[in-house]
Amino acid sequence: MNQNLPDEHRKNWDVLSVFQYLYQQQSISMLFILIIMWVILSLLSPYFFTVNNLFEITLQSAVIALIAAGESFVIFSGGIDLSVGSVFAFSAIVGGLALQFSGSVIVSLMASIGAGLFAGFCNGLAIIKLKIPPFVATLGMMGIARGLALILCNGVPIYGLPREYLWIGQGRIAGIVPVPTIIVIILFTIMYFILRNTRFGRFTYSIGSNPEATRLSGIKVSSVTLGIFMICGMFAAIAAVIESARLGTMQPASGNGYELLAIGSVFIGGASIYGGEGNIFASLIGALLVTTIRNGLNILGVSAFYQYVVNGLIIIFAVAADQIRRKH
Amino acid sequence: MNQNLPDEHRKNWDVLSVFQYLYQQQSISMLFILIIMWVILSLLSPYFFTVNNLFEITLQSAVIALIAAGESFVIFSGGIDLSVGSVFAFSAIVGGLALQFSGSVIVSLMASIGAGLFAGFCNGLAIIKLKIPPFVATLGMMGIARGLALILCNGVPIYGLPREYLWIGQGRIAGIVPVPTIIVIILFTIMYFILRNTRFGRFTYSIGSNPEATRLSGIKVSSVTLGIFMICGMFAAIAAVIESARLGTMQPASGNGYELLAIGSVFIGGASIYGGEGNIFASLIGALLVTTIRNGLNILGVSAFYQYVVNGLIIIFAVAADQIRRKH
Amino acid sequence: QDEGKSKTIVFIPKSTDVTYWLFLRKGATDKASELGYTVDYQGVATEADVAGQVNLVNNIVATKPAGILMAATDAKALQPAVENGIKAGIPIIMVDSGIEDKTIPLANITTDNFDGAYQAGLLLAEMIGGKGKVANIGITAGSQTGRERSDGFIEAMKKFPDIQVLPVQWTDAIAATAMNIATDLLNANPDLVGFYSAAAPMGVGIAQALKAKGLDQKVKLITFDPSPETLPLFEEGTINAIIAQDPYQMGYRGVEMLDKVIKGGKIEEGERDIQIPVAIITPENYDTPESQKLLQTPDKF
Amino acid sequence: MPELLVMEGINKAFFGVKVLKDIQFRLHEGEVHVILGENGAGKSTLIKILSGAYTLDSGKVFLEGKEVDMASYSPEVASRLGIATIYQNFHLVPHLSIAENISLSNFPVKKGGIDWKSVQKRARDVLENIHFSVDPNTLVKKLSVSQQQMLEIAIALSKNAKIIIMDEPTAAISKKEVETLFQLIADIKKKKVGIIYISHKLEEIKVIGDTITVLRDGKNVGTMGAKEAELNEIVSLMIGKEMKTLEKKKQHLSSEVMIELKSLRRKGIFEDISFQIGKGEIVGLTGLIGAGKTELARAIFGVDRLDAGKCFFQEKEINIKNPKEAVQHGIGYLPEDRDVSGLCLNMPVKDNVTLVYLAKLKERLFGIPAEKALAQKYINQLKIKTTGVYQQVKYLSGGNKQKVIFAKWLAAHCQFLILDEPTIGIDVGAREEIYNLIFDFVESGEKAVLFLSSDISEILSVSDRILVMSQGRLIAELDPSTTTKQEIMARCLNLN
Ligand SMILES: Nc1ncnc2c1ncn2[C@@H]1O[C@H](COP(=O)(O)OP(=O)(O)OP(=O)(O)O)[C@@H](O)[C@H]1O
Ligand SMILES: Nc1ncnc2c1ncn2[C@@H]1O[C@H](COP(=O)(O)OP(=O)(O)OP(=O)(O)O)[C@@H](O)[C@H]1O
Ligand SMILES: [Mg+2]
Ligand SMILES: [Mg+2]
């Protein structure tokens, strides 16, 4: 339970307490479930547990994981952001156009991230200034950002990305570890640190847990909220860069439905819809879980229609298994 | 404030208090916004404000409105149901198969509604027995029901519905009022009554407001929750019947994305994500609003990409306008 | 040595939400069972999910199937994935829609969406006498098929200065959405004389809208793709023409060629790129055996 | 003494209803200025304006002679100006630890992030300061109401404020903690800190108050020195009329047993609890913070599981597994944490009052008029200050919220009521009325009450029999006619 908190047991590092501590950590428990799933899949198919395929899973989950990282901030603070899928497409296209105009990868990256931050800023503004519930504000932005993405590129995908751009999505460090995987690890570590060890991070949880008490404690809830939504938009943009680089194209129709996958990952990771709790690594594991299920079902050759069913069942039972642990 | 409530001022029916009462009612305030939108659209296009087109709006909104009716119960009780779009397709297909096997419209309708109830029952069971958050449980069901719909009909739409079935979607009472419109009016009135005047309705709100206090007041929260999700599934099924009858075919891919439209309608109608409040007629008006925007933009000939943007902006500003009223 | 080898051919459609692909799958399974293979059907939910399809192809390649038959959601984005598959020694044949570099896959058995849409445009123009207002109902904004099928239509219409094409409306291939949009367009444009639908579900939706308004015999409707539920609408005259590709044939021949490669043979240069032309089904040729072959739903998919 | 604070002509209305009317208020250095008034008089509203929680409609505020710009005023500004507040309904963050709550408004940072060592150290110091022994890493949501009250006090005292506002700081804590608090107040007065103190416990005022201001219906009806003021006078100022003192009605104690508990046990919480309550009897149960009173009540009512023990209700053995069964048997439980487990805050007063009644109702449908009349009856009887049956409970004052829960259980027609701190935050006048309602409830000799309270004088005046709990065990049974406050206190502390 108590996952978002600094280590309580730092003093007595005996084996039992370490184990107990791990057991209590949301992220570890979902990791268990993930590992169990991996073991089962390895038994079922010889193609599953290969270095290549495991890296493939981290690669395939990178995009959803990054969106889920931003979404985690929003959800931990008690909100929700439905616009990430559209903001994803919007920032991809903005980056693509910037690339075409400037020819510079750096400019393109900055344009993408700027677009993501801007969309997040608008979400935040609608929420704090117009006092619209996050669900509605981001539902509106979902339409707006999608429309802008399509308008900007006239519905036509952008092609012809330079080699350096492609490297972000297709490169491998030491010839084996995919660059997106590295990006995910670095960004999640930083975000974990921010959530745990900075005021901004603690306020994120605090707003989720009790916004009124937070306000009465003299904290500017509205600025923090603005920051949270901007982070969320930024991560959608980073994810968009990675996907564009993987595909070699920026697609205005992309990202459709990613909001559900990302939000799902965060909740599968065990965050509460009421906010105030959650571990960002658990969201990462949620994303890995979702991807593993997909990957595993593909590899087992489960046919498309049945995949929907099995996918749904596994999500339900994975989370149910986690609930059993929580009861203790 | 206080929108889900019957008249406070029944005794003094003077004009001012009636006006004040109306002003306080969530549903009335959104109705204002809806009417303003109609006036603007009538000024912009001669084709908008015709009897035909207004009935067309009620007809087009019927499906989303009915799903929103069921979703309202879930949201008022503090939950969310993402599976309605898939359950929609699932119950359409089940009904279609029943029709093919039995040749009886009645059997088909019962099969559809049974399928919806069953899906809702499974959702409820996962939530109360496995203790999974509604978001995750219904996310799982979203996949399961979609898969079952596809499996059952092997991905092939069902067609060749008898005339009586088609009447449900295409018939007109007195040659002018569409049957689905009548169904919407009747069912919303019944549901309004249930929410206001039955124990089940009251407990729906109180669970949404404070499940712990409700439990400590001697109410079986789990049975009520089960009932709520079954109602939600049932409405998805009713909506599916109407859409099938309108189109003359049952499509396994239908209903995709309806969950967002329906949930959006409920929130646009002013329900709170924390549950406990909301007026089911406000959800109806939310659905009408969403449909009106679409219809209006189509009639004005706004091109597709811009429709996304304008649609998003109108949703945000409609809800912002409503927030201003609430402040008083 | 053949013992350990997979006898599975994987067929990857553009999406699993459209009936069209089931015709293709049927062609593939029919030939496959003749030859002793099984066909796995795996796809993403919507055509817009390009990244999902890339992931899917990578996952399938990892399982080393006997061969892959696939339709690319995006000609450029899928290219690296297909290339990897070929490099890994998996025979891949593109059906329906190929990738940019046609030399990478072993063969391409495709149809030209743009051309089909172009033909549809010409026919619709002829039906309405070369003048009037027509509506263009598309699949998904930003998807490749969606673009090609809409652009081809618009291109054809450019030849007719007296025809006004309303801005394209996207439906995500949902019949109900198409029905609502068609009704709205008819209300706002009483002078509308023709509809072009870029896929079967929209054809059904538009047809219902026309019937509800009693315009089914007046306003012309041409739809892409046959689907079982469109046939009654065609027979009663609500749908005036169907643009039919030959998905069954694509699947059938795809497996045939894969088998040849698997068994160590080679595909002749002349067979590498097969363009299957679209057939235009009108009341005149509806009853011909050729048309019926394209239209009829196989008894069992 | 120099003036610290002057508030002039303060007005505030909610939804058009005037709650504060032209209030004048002054506070001097080293002064404890007590604000008194009935439930809903506007006390909390006044101090919330000062703390920045609410914005005022009109009026001026001067701090140390300088006018404060109220247009840009906020909780943040207030804390910068040196105003710390103990809120009546707390402002704690449930999912954060005690330590983090203590440091929330000014986390110590060092290079690279929050300095957790100083967070821990500060927490230990602050808790130490008020003799509150609890692990600073505990999550606040796990604390009982009284523990939360202690934490709220600890946080306010830790801020080195110039003005400390205390809105009913002693409502939920027992005598031992109250004494600690008073000691601390005496200490900080010496540092020229001004204290605004709101309470319904009049006996406290004589002990620590310097000045008294009485509010009635949002108006300041008098400010006077605390030492010279007469209690009776104050009370009549508060309620606008003379107050009758409590007369305990003669009860019909019957020989029948209402409920009998045998060796109840919940591991680690309470042990070997056995007692019985006769029909017509009011049994008081008292003890210090964490003695286990609440836990016992919850277990009897079926909220928490019992590990062992038997329960006989009206002579029949019953095995209650959940609150629904308890309610069906005719048992009611008024919980101590009203916002968390007592009220549906965003529902109307009416719906809250009739909730249990409806739960017991056999018919599926109900008529709104009957329901409304029922709610109205209890609103009148308990003098709940509300704009109508349809007002949402979240807009009521603290004491009135408490009355709503009370009404809910009265309306439910239970045979046996467990009341857990039922008079928290209730004004003197209303408190007497509630005692009378309790007496009326048992008067027929058919019903019974288990009355949990940490307020010893209340326990003494209400109960027919007093049970004392300490560390999860029943350690004494006393007769109120022969015992004294001192004796009860000594028993609570387990001194014998
Ligand atoms: N946020 C609010 N919205 C509407 N009305 C409110 C609000 N806060 C307080 N009120 C109303 O203002 C009046 C004064 O409330 P306040 O909380 O100041 O009373 P109080 O003197 O502190 O009472 P108590 O002793 O019960 O705590 C009450 O009638 C209450 O219903
Ligand atoms: N023996 C114990 N061991 C661990 N925790 C305990 C023990 N006794 C009580 N607690 C905890 O202390 C808190 C207070 O217990 P409870 O609420 O029953 O006390 P109480 O007598 O009602 O006192 P108050 O309500 O004044 O705090 C609870 O959160 C409970 O979990
Ligand atoms: Mg108060
Ligand atoms: Mg207690």
**pLDDT, mean over chain C:** 91
Q: In angstroms, rounded to a whole number, what is the distance separating the alpha carbons of residues B60 and C205? A: 12
Whether the per-residue pLDDT at D211 is higher than 90: the answer is yes
Q: What is the pLDDT averaged over residues D125-141? A: 93
Whether the Cβ atoms of residue B165 and residue B108 lie closer than 8 Å to each other: yes
**pLDDT, mean over chain A:** 90
Q: What is the pLDDT of residue A134?
A: 94
Overall number of domains in chain A: 1
**pLDDT, mean over chain D:** 91
Q: Which domain holds residue B319?
A: 50-327
Question: How many CB atoms lie under 10 A from the CB of residue B264?
Answer: 24
pLDDT (tens digit, 9 = 90+) per residue, D384-442?
999 989 899 999 998 899 999 999 999 998 999 999 999 888 888 888 888 988 998 89
Q: What is the pLDDT averaged over residues D194-222? A: 92
Q: Among all residues of chain B, which has the CA nearest to that of C17?
A: B253
Whether the per-residue pLDDT at B3 is higher than 50: the answer is no
What residues of chain D lie within 8 A of the CB of B215, using their CB? Answer: 303, 322-324
Amino acid residing at C118: Y
Q: Is D139 in the pocket of ligand 2 (CB under 6 A)?
A: no
Name residues 340-379 of chain D within 8 A of A (Cβ): none
Least confident of B295-304, C46-55, D233-242, D249-258: D249-258
Q: How confident is the model at residue D367 (pLDDT cuts 50, 70, 90)?
A: confident
pLDDT (tens digit, 9 = 90+) per residue, D437-496?
899 889 888 899 999 998 888 899 899 999 999 989 999 999 988 988 888 988 888 765
Q: How confident is the model at residue A14 (pLDDT cuts 50, 70, 90)?
A: low
Whether the per-residue pLDDT at B21 is higher than 70: the answer is no
Whats the size of chain A, residue-wise?
A: 328
- The CATH number given to whatever domain includes residue A218 is 1.10.3470
Q: Is D269 in the pocket of ligand 2 (CB under 6 A)?
A: yes
- Burial state string for A247-270 with b = 16 or more CB within 10 A and e = fewer than 16: bbbbbbbbbbbbbbbbbbbbbbbb
The CATH topology of domain D3-239 is: Rossmann fold (3.40.50)
Q: What is the pLDDT of residue B13?
A: 45
Mutation target among D81, D93, D165 for the A interface, most CBs of A within 10 A: D93
- The answer to whether A202 contacts D100, with C-beta atoms less than 8 Å apart, is yes
Nearest to A315 among B139, B147, B307 (CB): B139
Nearest to A136 among B145, B305, B319 (CB): B319
Percent of chain B with pLDDT strictly greater than 90: 71
| B75 in any annotated domain | yes
Q: Give me ligand 1 centre to Cα C285, in Å.
A: 81
3-state secondary structure D321-358: CCHHHHHHHCEEEECCCHHHHHCCCCCEHHHHHCHHHH
Least confident of B49-58, C239-248, D27-36: B49-58
pLDDT (tens digit, 9 = 90+) per residue, A123-152?
999 999 999 999 999 999 999 999 999 999
Q: What is the pLDDT of residue B17?
A: 52
Whether the per-residue pLDDT at A3 is higher than 60: the answer is no
Name residues 77-96 of chain D within 8 A of A (Cβ): 78-80, 85, 87, 90-96
DSSP 8-state secondary structure symbol assigned to residue C72: -
* Ligand minimally distant from the alpha carbon of residue D335: 4
Whether the Cβ atoms of residue D399 and residue D383 lie closer than 8 Å to each other: no
Whether the per-residue pLDDT at A167 is higher than 60: the answer is yes
- The answer to whether D137 contacts A8, with C-beta atoms less than 8 Å apart, is yes
Q: What is the pLDDT of residue A9?
A: 38
Q: What is the pLDDT averaged over residues A187-216? A: 95
Least confident of A63-77, C226-240, D482-496: D482-496
What are residue D383's phi and psi, to 5 degrees? Answer: 50, 50
| B35 in any annotated domain | no
Q: Does B274 touch chain D (CB under 8 A)?
A: yes
Q: How far is B70 from chain D (nearest CA, A)?
A: 20
Q: How confident is the model at residue A7 (pLDDT cuts 50, 70, 90)?
A: very low
| A321 in any annotated domain | yes
Q: How far is D151 from chain B (nearest CA, A)?
A: 24
Q: How far is B211 from chain D (nearest CA, A)?
A: 8
Name residues 216-235 of chain B within 8 A of D (Cβ): 216-220
| B103 in any annotated domain | yes
Q: Look at residues C100, C43, C92, C81 and name the one whose alpha carbon lies nearest to residue A170.
A: C81
Least confident of A15-19, B155-159, D33-37: A15-19
Amino acid residing at C182: A
Helix (H), strand (E) at residue D222? strand D219-225
Tokens (6 digits) for D419: 């009341």
Least confident of A269-273, C271-275, D326-330: A269-273
What residues of chain B lie within 8 A of the CB of C45, using their CB? Answer: 256
| A1 in any annotated domain | no
Pocket test for ligand 1, best of D90, D220, D396, D434 (most atoms within 8 A of CB): D396
* Ligand minimally distant from the alpha carbon of residue D471: 2
Identify the residue whose C-alpha is closest to ligand 1 atom 5. Answer: D395
Whether the Cβ atoms of residue D65 and residue A179 lie closer than 8 Å to each other: no
What residues of chain C lie within 8 A of the CB of A244, using their CB? Answer: none
Amino acid residing at C98: G
Q: In angstroms, rounded to a whole number, what is the distance separating the alpha carbons of residues A295 and A126? A: 38
pLDDT (tens digit, 9 = 90+) per residue, B75-126?
999 999 999 999 999 999 999 999 999 999 999 999 999 999 999 999 999 9
Nearest to A253 among C54, C55, C143 (CB): C143
Would you list the domain boundaries of chain D?
Answer: 3-239, 257-493
Q: How confident is the model at residue C47 (pLDDT cuts 50, 70, 90)?
A: confident
| A290 in any annotated domain | yes
Q: What is the pLDDT of residue A10?
A: 43
Chains that touch D (3 or more CB pairs under 8 A): A, B
Helix (H), strand (E) at residue D465? strand D465-470
Q: How far is C63 from chain A (nearest CA, A)?
A: 6
Q: Is D396 in the pocket of ligand 1 (CB under 6 A)?
A: yes
Q: Give me ligand 2 centre to Cα D293, in Å.
A: 7
Q: What is the pLDDT of residue C125?
A: 96
- Percentages helix, strand, coil for chain D, rounded to the nearest 5? 35, 25, 35
Q: In angstroms, rounded to a whole number, what is the distance separating the alpha carbons of residues D107 and C91? A: 62
Q: What is the pLDDT averaged over residues C176-188? A: 93
The segment with the largest mean pLDDT, out of A297-306, B105-114, B297-306, D194-203, is B105-114
* Ligand minimally distant from the alpha carbon of residue D469: 2
DSSP string for residues in D4-72: EEEEEEEEEEETTEEEEEEEEEEEETT-EEEEEE-TTSSHHHHHHHHHTSS--SEEEEEETTEEP-GGG
- The answer to whether B254 contacts C172, with C-beta atoms less than 8 Å apart, is no
Q: Provide the pairing of β-strand D194-198 with D32-37.
A: parallel
Q: What is the pLDDT of residue B18?
A: 55
Whether the per-residue pLDDT at B249 is higher than 80: the answer is yes
Q: In angstroms, rounded to a whole number, what is the distance separating the alpha carbons of residues B222 and B201? A: 14
Whether the per-residue pLDDT at B5 is higher than 60: the answer is no
Q: Look at residues D47, D42, D38, D32 and name the one whose alpha carbon lies nearest to residue D1.
A: D32
Strands (E), chain B: 158-159, 172-173, 177-178, 249-250
Whether the per-residue pLDDT at B4 is higher than 50: the answer is no
Q: Give me ligand 1 centre to Cα D104, in Å.
A: 27
Q: In angstroms, rounded to a whole number, what is the distance separating the alpha carbons of residues D427 and D292? A: 26
| A31 in any annotated domain | no
* Ligand minimally distant from the alpha carbon of residue D427: 1
Q: Is D39 in the pocket of ligand 1 (CB under 6 A)?
A: yes
Q: What is the pLDDT averaged over residues C232-260? A: 93
Pocket test for ligand 2, best of D138, D178, D273, D289 (most atoms within 8 A of CB): D289
Whether the per-residue pLDDT at C142 is higher than 90: the answer is no
Mutation target among B216, B221, B327 for the D interface, most CBs of D within 10 A: B216
CATH architecture of the domain formed by D257-493: 3-Layer(aba) Sandwich (3.40)
Q: What is the pLDDT of residue D85?
A: 96
Pocket test for ligand 1, best of D14, D56, D220, D387 (most atoms within 8 A of CB): D14
- The answer to whether C74 contacts A304, with C-beta atoms less than 8 Å apart, is no
**Ramachandran bin of B118, using left for φ above 0, alpha for ψ from -120 to 50, beta for the remaining angles:** alpha
Q: In angstroms, rounded to a whole number, what is the distance separating the alpha carbons of residues D196 and D23? A: 15
| B3 in any annotated domain | no
